[in-house]
């Protein structure tokens, strides 16, 4: 599959952490929904999301992401990402290797500087309200986002939002130049979870023999 790990990692983080984005568009209904989502998440000092993740034709896997300010940590069975607001460390257990990248405040890489990506969401995406969709007996509000840049990893994103909680329930990404769809379902969101600075840094002492690949 052409869509390799670094790219789907970017997609995964984009939806899980990009929930706090602030979008501006001529479509008043989608703006209302997305502003409501932004305000809800911005009211939390931290939060943890449990999610299920699957690409078309692959088995579903699960994981968690913890977000606090500019810091985040993603944990999945085959991938861990630690970002402390300055450095991003990605650990691949099967390879026993961790890659280290500096976060470029002027970069466009979704992983390398996720916070900047969130702030530029309104510049990089158009969005439109697509109506409601009945899912498991509940009406969800649907918003479609389309990247303005032809260099984006995906051609469109569909968000399904719970009108009661104002939070997303599912996000579907259509991969550019491919027929694959990436789906992320949010199982649970815990607001204001306890966090510490050590949570957002990879602890090499717990992984003896790990290979370190430093791109700084």
pLDDT one-digit tens code per residue, 178-191: 667 777 888 898 99
Sequence-separated (6 or more) residues with CB below 8 Å from residue 155: 146, 147, 174, 175, 176
Mean pLDDT value of segment 106-115? 45
Compute the 3-state secondary structure of the chain and give helix, strand, coil in percent, each to the nearest 5: 25, 45, 35
Q: Are 46 and 193 in contact (CB under 8 A)?
A: yes
Mean pLDDT value of segment 62-69? 88
Enter the tokens of residue 206.
Answer: 């717990």
Is the pLDDT at 124 greater than 50? The verdict is yes
Is the pLDDT at 5 greater than 60? The verdict is no
Q: What is the DSSP letter of 95?
A: G
Looking at the DSSP assignment, which residues form a beta bridge with residue 42?
none
Q: What angle do CA 106, 112, 116 make, to 5 degrees?
A: 50
**pLDDT over 70 for what percent of the chain?**
76
Q: How confident is the prediction for the chain on average, in pLDDT?
A: 79
At residue 12, the pLDDT reads: 58
Of the options 3.40.50.970, 3.40.50.720, 2.50.20.10, 3.30.930.10, the CATH number for the domain spanning 5-214: 2.50.20.10
């Amino acid at each position: 599959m052409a869509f390799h790990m670094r790219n789907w990692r970017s997609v995964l983080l984009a939806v899980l952490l990009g929930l706090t984005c602030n979008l501006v568009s001529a479509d008043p209904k989608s703006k209302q929904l997305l502003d409501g989502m932004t305000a809800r998440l911005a009211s939390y000092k931290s939060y943890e999301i449990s999610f299920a993740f699957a690409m078309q034709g692959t088995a579903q896997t699960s994981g968690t992401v913890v977000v606090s300010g500019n810091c985040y940590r993603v944990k999945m069975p085959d991938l861990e990402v630690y970002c402390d607001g300055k450095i991003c460390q990605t650990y691949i257990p099967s390879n026993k290797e961790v890659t280290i990248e500096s976060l470029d405040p002027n970069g466009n890489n979704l992983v390398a500087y996720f916070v900047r990506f969130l702030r530029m969401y309104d510049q990089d995406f158009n969005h439109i309200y697509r109506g409601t969709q009945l899912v498991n007996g509940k009406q969800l509000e649907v918003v479609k986002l389309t990247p303005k840049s032809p260099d984006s990893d995906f051609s469109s994103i569909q968000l399904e939002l719970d009108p009661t909680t104002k939070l997303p329930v599912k996000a579907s990404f259509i991969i550019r130049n491919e027929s694959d769809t990436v789906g992320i379902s949010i199982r649970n969101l815990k607001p204001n979870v306890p966090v510490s600075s050590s949570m957002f840094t990879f602890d090499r002492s717990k992984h003896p023999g790990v290979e370190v690949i430093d791109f700084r």
